[in-house]
Each structure stands twice: as C-alpha cells, then as structure tokens.
Amino acid sequence: MSSPSYTVLKLFKSPRGHLAEISRTRDRCETRGNEWVWIAERHVTTLQLRPGRGALDFEEGQLHLKDDAGELRWLNGEIETLSRVAVELPQPSLSVLDSHLS
C-alpha cells in the first residue's frame, strides 16, 4: 500500500486501531526514513523514538514484535495486542493517515 508521500512497510491490527511502519518520501525518490504510526478511529500518532534507546522504544511506549505478532505497551499502562495483516488499511483509517501525513 502506498501513496505519493509514503509506503506502508508493515501493518498490524488490534481491536482499537492499526500500527504501521511507513517509509516517507520526498519527490517520489528521496527517502526520508521509516516511522511508526498508531492509527486510531479518528486520529493518528507518530511514535517518537527515544534517543539512545532501542529501535522500538518510543516516547509514547514500547513496541515488542515477534514474527507476525506483538504488543504496543503505552506509558499509561494500556497494552495493544497486535497481529500482522497483509491487507490494506480500511478506508476510514487510510483517510485519517493521509490527512495526518499531508
């Protein structure tokens, strides 16, 4: 799944939303790098990496992945149980993500 400004590299679902690793691009050829985004029903949160920490340690919480499953453990104690999916984001979530990244 891709748009002119990003490509979804990995997509996970949970009962309360989706987690996606995306690659953002400039001018269709220059890659800006990968980001993780949490996509809820009406909003998107770009997860901010914590400097000097592990690759999946974010200001908002920690991401634990193993094969096609994982957990996103928010700092407030909530846990999102994740399973990898190969399908595209559903349209409402895709629209919210497009709006967030534009």
Range scoring the smallest mean pLDDT among 16-20, 61-65, 77-81, 84-88: 84-88
H/E stretch holding 100 reads helix 91-101
Binning pLDDT at 50, 70 and 90, where does residue 78 land?
Answer: very high
**14-48, pLDDT tens digit by residue?**
999 999 999 887 655 555 678 999 999 889 999 99
H/E stretch holding 63 reads strand 61-66
User: How far apart (Å, rounded) are the C-alpha atoms in residues 66 and 52?
Assistant: 22
**Residue 2 has what pLDDT?**
54
As a residue count, the chain comes to 102
User: Does residue 3 surpass a pLDDT of 70?
Assistant: no
Q: What is the DSSP letter of 101?
A: H
